[in-house]
A = this chain, B = another copy of it.
Amino acid sequence: MSATATDAGTSRTRSWWGWGYADAHPDDAECAAMGALLPGTLPRPLPIPRVADLAIGRPGATPPRSLAHVVTADPEARASHAMGKAYRDVIRALRGQPGRIPDLVARPTDDQAVADLLDWASEHGVAVIPFGGGSSVVGGVEYRGDTHEAVLSLDMTAMDRVLEVDTAGRSALIQAGALGPVLEDQLRPHGLTLRHFPQSFEFSTLGGWLATRAGGHYATVHTHIDDFVQSLRVVTPAGTGASWRLPASGAGPSPDRLFLGSEGALGVITEAWMRVRERPRHKASASVTFTDFHRALDAVRAIAQSDLAPANCRLLDPGEALLSGASKDGSSVLVLGFESATAPVDDRLATALELARDHGGHGGTPKADTDGKSDAAVSAWRSAFLRMPYLRDGLARMGAVVETFETAATWDRVPALIDAVRTEVSAAALKATGQQATVNCRLTHVYPDGAAPYFTVAVAGRPGDEVQVWDEIKAVASDVLHRHRATITHHHAVGRDHRPGYDRQRPAPFALALHAVKDALDPHRILNPGVLLD
């Protein structure tokens, strides 16, 4: 197999240590300029780490000859599969202390190869870590144990085809290893789209989205990838199975829902029939400003409780609004967007704007756009959004601590939760670094009964101790979430980083059930050890 990390369909090289494409990272001068804005950063950026400097030993296991063609021990491949892309991962790579480097990387091309790899791994006590785009920000794709003979990273990206399209039935059978652009490119000729656009869109796969219950494009109604699943095919150490293609069923507990969110710990999702849709022909968007963030929350709640179903309903607090250029006067900004393949959406936007104004919103000139192109403001926001992780890595090179975390809670808890996160996380950051932190918030997804706040933290002041600083801040953040009964994750998944919060949140009977399922499907406990359960 090839060990190059260039993406299919592009000639761009993926960064082994940081976000996305290597050529998209800010250069040293940009890093220094960003660092100058944050007190306590380094005088010059940390050097970009090199695989050659890593101590990569000989693999602790050798696959059978029959599987050799899909397995490599190439150091570059192994290094780039050692971790996900959390801040914690990036800074560890920059500091020369990455997570455990896997012994082997496999890139199977069919279900049989996946099954054979699991058989071999079960027999030889080799940990298998399913790996899609590797964009986990919760320690979802690294090995932290010491009880396995060796570690195999199971890279699914060679299985990246749209195998079948049912145009009339708005469905497509897609292999799990397809990255976002790869699957959209194959759907486009059919006039169809999955319309699942997480921030990691370019660098994450359908299988990764399904295994982590990713949150996507739609701010309301069908917010998670879960809702677009028609059927799943899963290979487990105990056997392979596929659910039937069904628009809905009431036959027993949903078999798919057990594997959605299973994070590679119960089986390997190899393909899925997904519900796709026509590309939207009607779009309209507008933004509204609020002088009072809490009144803005009320406005968003009213819109979420209407049946207007905006595709975008993103509330930025003053800090987020400032950072993204949406507002410079300390206002909060609500960005509303509607889209439809069927009918004009101007009325829905107008009604939503009325609701926003009823709650103290100002402005909001609709930008109708019926030819399907985004307006300039939305494009600008989207570019900034996609650029954000690269800037985070640039700041990491300056010894800053920059990370995000997200949650969801019912409306009765949202205002106090956001206030508490701001107060307590700022205090924790100050305590850890001696510096004032930036803590911003936006709502990414909203529901009739609650919302999903997303927080960004940036602080510097203890270069060299970045991991410890972040772990201290994160522990406080997780504790705030727990006390406010806000989920440990709305769409970033559990991985290894969220285990303490997840373990506290999970109902006891479900924990028993999950352990039982693990024993039944993965009796040798080779699949993504430490994720979801021990």
Contacts and interface: CB of A to CB of B under 8 A. Distances in A.
A217 to B, nearest CB: 14
Interface stretch (A100-108, A232-240, A424-432): A232-240
Given A250-B490, A254-B261, A450-B248, A512 B521 contact: yes
Interface stretch (A37-45, A52-60, A165-173, A382-390): A165-173
Contacts of A249: 408, 487, 489-490
A179 interface: no
A347 interface: yes
A41 B237 CA distance: 56
B224 A248 contact: yes
Interface stretch (A19-27, A141-149, A306-314, A392-400): A306-314
A250 B215 contact: yes
A498 interface: yes
Nearest to A339: B307
Contact of A244 (B166, B171, B505): B505
Interface stretch (A315-323, A362-370, A441-449): A441-449
**Most chain B CB neighbours (cut-off 10 Å) among A244, A263, A267:** A244
A214 interface: yes
Contacts of A215: 250
Interface stretch (A73-81, A152-160, A181-189, A409-417): A409-417
A521 B278 CA distance: 44
Given A250-B224, A450-B247, A257 B255 contact: no
B447 A247 contact: yes
Contacts of A516: 513, 516-517, 519-520
Interface pairs A-B: 7 shortest CB-CB: A247-B450, A241-B507, A516-B520, A247-B447, A255-B510, A257-B257, A306-B342
Interface of A: 166, 168-171, 212-215, 221, 223-224, 226, 230, 234, 236, 238-255, 257-263, 266-267, 275, 277-278, 301, 305-309, 340-343, 347, 351, 408-412, 445, 447-452, 485-494, 498, 501-502, 505-510, 512-517, 519-521, 532
